[in-house]
Structure 1
Amino acid sequence: MINKRLGAHLVTPRYEDAGLFGTELCRLDVKLLPGARRNDRHDFIFTGIIDRGYRVPVFFAGRRAADAQALVVATDRIRRQRVAAGGPAPDAEPQALALRIDGAWRKLVHQDAQGFAQVTHQFIAAMWSIGAGDGGARRYGTPPVL
């Protein structure tokens, strides 16, 4: 298969965001679980919990991945503290980091083993905030350049 990706030095913020944010931005309260993984583009992918326990992949992609490194550290710290205190399993909701994320939904359609189309959704983060404990919140990420 031919790799049609632009070299990293050729990718502008406008080009990157046009590929990431194809739908309207919305604000979502998410609880991120520990255990982020990375894909071949070096994006961070967390499992997030939204509305009544629904789990969804949350992507911190492109130039926003550098800011997301702090989320990896924070979720791992929460996990270690809970485990040391004899807390719940690593994928339990109380072990999650609460964020407010501005981002966009991306729909993926793929075939299952029987050949039927399966639809999944991903949430792509543009900006996010973490409560600072003193009533303030810290903001990370960047607004999309469209």
Structure 2
Amino acid sequence: MFERRKPASEITPAYEDRGIFKNDIVQLIVNLVPLTAKNSRNDLIVKGFIEGNSAIEVVFPGRRTIQAKPIVALLQAKLTHARKVAEKAGTTVDVNTLRYPARIEGSWRPKFTRDDNGWETRQHQLFAARWVLKDLDGNAVTFGEMTIKE
């Protein structure tokens, strides 16, 4: 089968971003939880909540997966601490309650999933371009970049 993708050596950040961020750029506060996964393209996917309890998936695509390592470390530390506290109390941890706020700038993309009966469901994922986290001193730290015109 013919390979339509360019070789990795020919992909510039601007070229990658034009392919990822095709829709309008939005800025949201997302409460991230320590549930992470990777997709077939090796993008990092983190579960999050917006506007209270609306669950979404935040995707850190392409080269941003490396820059998202602090998020994974923060979420893992939060989960580890919560498990220790729960173990001492003799309870279990509900990971959906372990939320870490982040301001994320990115673009919504549709995701289609098919159930056992063949019905497709449309969901949306937020593809992150830039994000802001608070460090231990409470200072805002920006990660990621936007290499296309906003």
Match of 1:35 in 2: 35
Match of 1:44 in 2: 44
CA distance in 1, matches of 2:32, 2:92: 15
CA distance in 1, matches of 2:39, 2:132: 23
Which one of 103, 107, 110 corresponds to residue 106 of structure 2?
103
Q: Secondary structure at the match of 2:128?
A: strand
CA distance in 1, matches of 2:2, 2:95: 38
Which one of 92, 116, 123 corresponds to residue 96 of structure 2?
92
What is the CA distance between 1:88 and its match in structure 2?
5.7
Name the TM-score, length of structure 2 as normaliser. Answer: 0.85
Match of 1:130 in 2: 133
In structure 2, the CA distance between the partners of 1:88 and 1:105, relative to structure 1 (3 Å rule), is farther
Q: Which moved more, 1:55-64 or 1:4-13?
A: 4-13
Q: Secondary structure at the match of 2:59?
A: strand
Q: Is 1:34–1:90's contact at 8 Å kept on the other side of the alignment?
A: no
What is the CA distance between 1:97 and its match in structure 2?
1.5
Match of 2:117 in 1: 114
Q: Which moved more, 1:109-118 or 1:56-65?
A: 109-118
Q: Is 1:109–1:120's contact at 8 Å kept on the other side of the alignment?
A: yes
CA distance in 1, matches of 2:147, 2:123: 23
Q: Which moved more, 1:68-77 or 1:31-40?
A: 31-40
Structure 1: gaps spanning 5 or more residues: none
Q: Secondary structure at the match of 1:65?
A: helix
Q: Secondary structure at the match of 2:9?
A: helix
Q: Secondary structure at the match of 2:34?
A: coil
In structure 2, the CA distance between the partners of 1:132 and 1:13, relative to structure 1 (3 Å rule), is same
Structure 2: gaps spanning 5 or more residues: none
Q: Secondary structure at the match of 2:143?
A: strand
Aligned positions, number: 145
CA distance in 2, matches of 1:28, 1:88: 30
Q: Is 2:17–2:146's contact at 8 Å kept on the other side of the alignment?
A: no
What is the CA distance between 1:9 and its match in structure 2?
1.1
Amino acid of the structure 2 residue aligned with 1:106: R
Match of 2:14 in 1: 14
Amino acid of the structure 2 residue aligned with 1:91: V
Q: Secondary structure at the match of 2:127?
A: strand
